[in-house]
Chains A and B, each alone.
Chain A
Amino acid sequence: MAKVILEVNRLKKFFDVNRNQTLQAVNDVSFQINEGETFGLVGESGCGKSTIGRTILGLYHKTAGEVLYDGEDIHSLKENDRFKLHKKMQMIFQDPYASLNPRSTVQEIISEPMEIHRLYRHKKEIKERVYQLLAEVGLQRDHANRYPHEFSGGQRQRIGIARALALNPEFIIADEPISALDVSIQAQVVNLLKEIQHEKGLTFLFIAHDLSMVKQISDRIGVMYLGNLIELTKSEQLYDHPYHPYTKALLSAIPIPDPEVEEKRERIILQGELPSPINPPSGCVFRTRCPMAMLICEQQKPPFREIAPEHFVACHLYS
């Protein structure tokens, strides 16, 4: 049995927005990530994926619930322990253009976390480590003295990855690490992440909205809608046997790059627009767009239940 490394229990993160309004960015979400696995988190814009990532890292205070890393509650750690924990957990960001300081050289960017955490005593050791990291992500030694603007998007994302690897983390949260890149380059970065994970046995939380890419890299996938986790299971199982009507619609909306397959496919076109997380629908949050909605969906929030082995769904159709 794999060891659980991260446990998210009934996590809530609400934001106060203009005059006494609350935005329910993450509402009662629970999942676990096993050591060495890649867990994919997908869902449409604004459903709360990044907020979960940031709350897990402790960059946001939680509203309720708990996040346990290796059994320790992240949000009640003392300053010093949190600093130590940050060495183990790293984040790769969505935008390879905005997340690197334009005034620092690649050398400085990658060394910074090592300096903050006083990983090495001598400058020379740090320099060697930077070269080693550059090689690991497929960049060259002489790239170290250049500035971010001198690189392409894919190369910049590699710099971000090298920086995230600098402290030898155990756990990496990658928040849309490839969305800003071209398809041919996305595949390069995804393969690189897979390789690194394989070699170092890292645990990954991979956040993205592109399901076809997430499927490539994840062992298990959680699907979110409007702050709620609505389905969670193994990667293939999610594609072969989705249960939740939203997951079904999401899968059917992704066009497949093959005209013959595309012609024969049946598509579920969702009606209506995404409701606001400030005023989410009562009961099941998906009911306003759900083609299968029943009376109970308006009255009761469906529980998140295991309806097949290792397959969790929050939907009244299956209760």
Chain B
Amino acid sequence: MPQYKAPLRDIKFLMHELLQAPQVLAEVPFYQQNDTADADLLNQVLEEAARFVETELVPLNRVGDEEGCTRHDDGSVSTPTGFKEAYKKYREAGWTALDADPAYGGQGMPHLVSNVLVEMMTSANVAWSMYPGLSHGAYSALHAVGSEDLKTLYLPKLVSGEWTGTMCLTEPHAGTDLGMIRTKAVNNGDGTYAITGTKIFISAGEHDLAENIVHLVLARLEGSPQGTKGISLFLVPKFVPNPDGSLGERNTVVCGSIEHKMGIHGNATAVLNFDGAKGYLVGEVNKGMNHMFIMMNAARLGTGLQGLGLGEVAYQNALAYAKDRLQMRHEPRVNPAEPADPILVHPDVRRMLLTGKAYTEAGRALAMWLALSIDIEHHHPDAAKRQEAADLVALLTPVAKAFMTDNGFTTAVLSQQVLGGHGYIREWGLEQFVRDARIGQIYEGTNGIQALDLLGRKVLMDGGKKLQKLAGTLQEFVEENEGDEDLAPYLDQLGKAAGQLGSLTMVIGQKAMAGPEGADEVNAAAVDYLRYFGHVVYGYLWARMAKIAHEKIQAGQDRDGFYLGKVQTARFYFAKLFPETKMLAATIKAGNEPLAVDDRAVFGMERALVGA
């Protein structure tokens, strides 16, 4: 069975040394008042989280995959053996309330901490982690825009985990293009709405972990305009609660079926049929898309964490295997008493492992940096600081979502490769990580859509302002460390790439404005652009981590070799992974032209759709 140990050493390094989170949070009265910025407390919470995850969730990962969820004739769904009991323990230990608002029973811990908890849970059992994950999304949206009445009734139950939540956006004909959704809402005139329509692919849409499920549903109010400007957000409970919070009538929302899918078998992906179901407006009429986007940054970062968590656990298991598995002889022999040497000695195996390590550790740094920025965005007393953090989060969220899930999948596949044929066999667990990691690239907006969000909305539409701010931060770091011999090779590469990212942005921007085909140019470049962007961000983080590590080594404070490991992984990253930017620069420059092929000749269409 696969093993997992939460990477607490690395997490603490990032929290205390790279981000200096306790000092940053101490400036924020919200955390000070709640007494939740204390370094020892942060550590202790992380350690307890690790213990819970390792002992309760890891053993259920395989069970969940093998058993999957079962829908019964009455529309109810049961989760795999053990899921319910683990959820009860999780709830009772208070984890559902971790970073929630104390006004509703939350513990008021920084989002940074819950970010780490989510990473650990996705490593341990991503399918299980999605039940509390979706609830947290529903909590955030409701907390941000819900009326006082809705908040008073629903938030304490979501915070305590007694009820769970969902996010219902997708319909059969509307996935990426939510402007096309058809689910409709009719005003009942008594403060409630009747919701009718079909939602598909709803994660945690029906299950037996909790007594009630709170669906947040995008629907079009009768008379509202077509497109995204006519969409509103509604809360539709499975059981309509009485004012005292006790369960009332069963609402007319039922699970029509659950999907059979490639991975995350333990999480029920439901088709939900709403048949005049009783709903409540959340926020303002026709502002549904905006309201959803409030929680989208956190949710997208959460999906990025799935890439990170699955990469981490796959890497851990590949590494353990590579130490044990004896195949072929290395010269000079490492293990002369044995007939063969551990495969860890072969450079190509080291390449695969180091790739996983380099991506995972940089991804963790990015995720924690963004999570801390979300804390500042929400609670810092200084408006300028809040804005600065908000800009950074907006810019880097699509990068985190797509780059981390792409690299997480790559890491899972490479880790599987380390096990050779055994990686393909179920009992080793690696093939499950590969299957589970795949969905992160698809949902919560496909990675292609993330790339369009980054390049189109976050960079070009904003006139490059957010990008320039980030570039300024990088430039400052490069200048500050000028002359540092240890860092020089990295800073040189980083400085050049940051400069090139700017010029590539200009090139695409100019093409985008040049004519009616401009949008295609952006579309053609976006995915490569996001990857380039991701490398620049990881490069920056690796350089910063390497700087700290060098200092520790020089101060003679590297007794367990942790910092040497950082320095050498940074070197590997810049030598073997970062140069992908050179290729990406070329493919970005190649533009849309190679894609504008003749649709008849290449795709066998009867007529040309675009180009040629």
Does A associate with B in a complex? Answer: no
